[in-house]
Amino acid sequence: MSSWLDEIKWSADGLVPAIAQDASSGKVLTLAWMNREALRLTLQTKQAHYWSRSRGALWKKGEQSGHVQRVREIRLDCDGDAILVVVEQEGGIACHTGRESCFFRRLGEGSWEAVDPVRKSPEAIYGPR
**Residue 73 touches a second copy, criterion: CB under 8 A:** yes
Contact between 9 and a second copy per CB under 8 A: no
Work out whether 78 is an interface residue with a second copy (CB under 8 A).
yes
DSSP 125: H
> CB 128 → a second copy: shortest distance, Å?
20
The three-point CA angle 54-36-99 to 5° equals 50
Pick the stretch among 44-52, 55-63, 80-88, 120-128 that binds a second copy (CB under 8 A).
Answer: 80-88
Task: State the DSSP string of 19-59.
Answer: EEEETTT--EEEEEEE-HHHHHHHHHHSB-EEEETTTTEEE
Backbone angles phi and psi of 8, in degrees to 5 = -85, 135
Q: Does 122 bind a second copy (CB under 8 A)?
A: no
The reply to whether 74 sits near a second copy by the rule CB under 8 A is yes
What count of other Cβ atoms lies within 10 Å of the Cβ of residue 16? 21
Q: Which residues bind a second copy (CB under 8 A)?
A: 1-4, 7, 17, 19, 21, 26, 28, 30-31, 43, 73-79, 81-82, 84, 95-97, 99, 102-107, 110-112
